[in-house]
């Protein structure tokens, strides 16, 4: 059940005048002779955008894939580094895998990667490596059976790095996957905890599997958005769930979803005020939803039809941004406080564009990376947050209506970091 919330409060804000404006023309991050896919993003303390993806290459096994990582040094993308070990994979399953990338409290850049169970080379395992500013560490296998999408999230309240992954199972002549979390405290990775257990039943023909996770943090909690699909309530059902887990002491258990909805390909993020935002695809349309700090969820009407993927993030000012792909093009919008701004296209040609990811840097500039014709491309907003765009702080009573976490009519205090240095 969704509830529309009416709040009355007195707050103060530094509000920025933002418009989408123009975006740079699409340019390649890197060009390879084979298909690249599964892009993911993070930002380091030096305001460098880091990205990782998988690339197919002519390796030992048919359909060999390996993770590739690079960053933007302020002028250009540095030469990508291809990591090992690599895996073989059937191209039919490429949408089931995606690497993870995140920054820890020491500003190390961590990379995670894993195969999918249909790999031609029947070896699994989740691998991690980190970059300390000079070199990449020797890759470490942290689980022998992990697979699928392996997102990373740094939890500032606990200084822990959290990793999600899937473990495949086979029961009653049916495959399924379960979803696990593990955390790194600066010394060791914790024992993986199961937060969603897959199953199958040969007699009834029913089964349930979990995966395609995304992660976000609020306080000492890790939020997990993930898919739940199978044949259990209705034929070939597909849902997504939002669950939170205490990061301080991850333990296996029965986790009741905080919120669930029909849909797939969910992404999850949090804003500076402790609100949770999700985007997802349902019946060919992108929807978003919002959870306020009182625990009430509100679903926002369809953003765009004919879409199959979205990514949601929060910029340095707390504004929520969304990118989607529809009709083979990439679109961007942001939350105005009362609704989504008019979608602006980044691409509008006949080249197939898909699977965009969005992130903001420390100057307020937004970056979108996506798959374009088998390579990874990027575009940025021309301008970041300018000090001249800041309106002085004021206080006023307001009436906030669903779902209105950051209305331009409302004032909430926060600091914009210096744009110098």
pLDDT in tens, 392-420: 332 323 333 334 444 444 433 333 333 33
What pLDDT is attached to residue 213? 93
Query: Is residue 372 a contact partner of residue 27, using CB atoms and an 8 Å limit?
Result: no
Please give the Cα distance from 186 to 177 (Å, whole number). Answer: 28
What pLDDT is attached to residue 170? 64
Most distant pair of Cα atoms in the chain: their distance: 67
Please give the Cα distance from 146 to 240 (Å, whole number). Answer: 21
What pLDDT is attached to residue 172? 56
Query: Token pair 């990338």 is at which residue?
Result: 101
List the chain residues with pLDDT less than 70: 1-21, 58-63, 88-93, 116-124, 169-174, 231-238, 252-254, 383-421
What pLDDT is attached to residue 254? 64
Complete edge-to-edge strand list for the sheet that includes strand 199-201: 199-201, 206-218, 221-231, 237-246, 259-262
Please give the Cα distance from 382 to 21 (Å, whole number). Answer: 8
């Amino acid at each position: 059940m969704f509830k529309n919330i009416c709040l009355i409060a007195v707050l103060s804000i530094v509000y920025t005048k933002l418009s989408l404006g123009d975006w740079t023309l699409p340019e390649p991050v890197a060009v390879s002779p084979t298909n690249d896919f599964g892009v993911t993003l993070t930002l380091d303390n030096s305001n460098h955008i880091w990205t990782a993806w998988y690339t197919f290459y002519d390796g030992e096994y048919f359909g060999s894939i390996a993770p590739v990582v690079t960053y933007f040094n302020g002028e250009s993308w540095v030469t990508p580094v291809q990591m090992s070990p690599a895996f073989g994979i059937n191209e039919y399953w490429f949408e089931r895998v995606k690497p993870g990338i995140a920054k820890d409290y020491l500003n190390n850049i961590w990379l995670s990667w894993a195969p999918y169970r249909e790999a031609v080379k029947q070896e699994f395992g989740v691998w991690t490596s980190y970059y300390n500013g000079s070199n990449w560490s020797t890759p470490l296998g942290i689980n022998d059976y992990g697979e699928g999408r392996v997102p990373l999230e740094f939890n500032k309240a606990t200084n822990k790095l959290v990793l999600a992954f899937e473990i495949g199972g086979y029961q009653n002549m049916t495959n399924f996957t379960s979803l696990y979390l593990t955390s790194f405290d600066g010394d060791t990775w914790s024992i993986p905890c199961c937060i969603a257990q897959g199953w199958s039943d040969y007699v009834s023909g029913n089964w349930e599997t979990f995966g395609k996770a995304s992660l976000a943090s609020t306080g000492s909690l890790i939020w997990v958005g993930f898919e739940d699909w199978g044949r259990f309530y209705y034929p070939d059902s597909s849902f997504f769930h939002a669950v939170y887990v205490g990061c301080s002491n991850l333990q296996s258990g029965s986790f009741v979803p905080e919120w669930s909805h029909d849909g797939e390909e969910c992404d999850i993020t949090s804003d500076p005020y402790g609100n949770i935002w999700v985007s997802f695809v349902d019946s060919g349309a992108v929807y978003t939803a919002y959870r306020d700090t009182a625990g009430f969820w509100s679903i926002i009407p369809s953003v765009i039809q004919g879409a199959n993927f979205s990514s949601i993030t929060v910029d340095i000012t707390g504004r929520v941004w969304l990118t989607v792909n529809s009709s083979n093009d990439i679109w961007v919008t942001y939350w105005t406080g009362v609704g989504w701004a008019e979608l602006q296209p980044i691409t509008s040609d006949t080249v197939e564009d898909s699977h965009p990811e969005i992130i903001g840097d420390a100057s307020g500039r937004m970056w979108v990376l996506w798959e374009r014709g088998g390579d990874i491309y990027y575009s940025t907003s021309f301008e970041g947050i300018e000090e001249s765009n800041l309106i002085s702080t004021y206080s006023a009573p307001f009436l906030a209506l669903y779902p209105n976490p950051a209305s331009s009519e409302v004032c909430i205090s926060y600091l914009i970091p210096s744009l110098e240095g």
